[in-house]
């Protein structure tokens, strides 16, 4: 099975929680972190097949919602998981979901389980019975 590519473009305060949640998928995902939408656009220009993007609704002071719409128009096979903060208007979120620009939405704050559930769904993986962060090794 080939690894699926996931691009992560989030604010610095989310890098660690996202990385923690994605540990469950070691060996299954090729995770690439980028700092801004410009870097993400350049990285996606090299990609020929479908992949998943974890995108923060705000990068710095810039809203990424328009960028997400442009990406989806250019590459309809992309799957986008949008992480939204409380400052994002509910109407914008509903419009993105209804227009199928995003394939999933996570509200801040989120848990590792919520993130992994979305990755299972977006990447088409079969969910494990017990996630890695709950395994004790005891039988």
Q: Tell me how far apart the alpha carbons of residues 62 and 78 are, in angstroms, rounded to a whole number.
A: 21
Report pTM: 0.87
Examine the pLDDT at 132 and tell me if it is beyond 80.
no
Q: What would the pLDDT profile of 54-106 be if each residue is shown by its tens digit?
A: 999 988 778 888 899 999 998 999 999 999 987 788 888 898 899 999 999 99
pLDDT band at 131 (very low <50, low <70, confident <90, very high): low
CATH topology of domain 4-134: Rossmann fold (3.40.50)
Q: Are 37 and 62 in contact (CB under 8 A)?
A: yes
pLDDT one-digit tens code per residue, 25-35: 988 999 999 99
Calculate what percentage of the chain has a pLDDT beyond 90.
52
- Which residue carries 């996630």 as its tokens? 131
56 close to 14: Cβ distance less than 8 angstroms: yes
> What are the tokens at 77?
């096979």
Domain residues of the chain, as ranges?
A: 4-134
Note whether 112 and 17 are within 8 A (CB): yes
Start-to-end CA span in the chain (Å): 29
Provide the pLDDT for residue 130: 63
Cis before 71? omega within 30: no
């Amino acid at each position: 099975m080939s690894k699926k590519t996931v691009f992560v473009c989030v604010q610095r305060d989310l890098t660690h929680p996202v990385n923690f949640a994605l540990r469950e998928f070691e060996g299954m995902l090729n995770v690439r972190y980028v700092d801004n939408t410009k870097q993400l656009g350049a990285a996606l220009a090299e990609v020929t097949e479908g992949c998943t993007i974890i995108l923060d609704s705000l990068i710095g002071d810039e809203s990424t919602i328009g960028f997400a719409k442009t990406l989806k128009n250019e590459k309809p096979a992309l799957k986008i998981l949008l992480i939204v903060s409380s400052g994002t208007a509910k109407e914008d979120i509903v419009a993105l979901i209804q227009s199928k620009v995003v394939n999933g939405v996570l509200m801040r704050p989120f848990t590792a389980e919520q993130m992994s559930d979305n990755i299972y769904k977006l990447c088409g993986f079969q969910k494990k019975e017990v996630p890695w962060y709950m395994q004790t090794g005891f039988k």
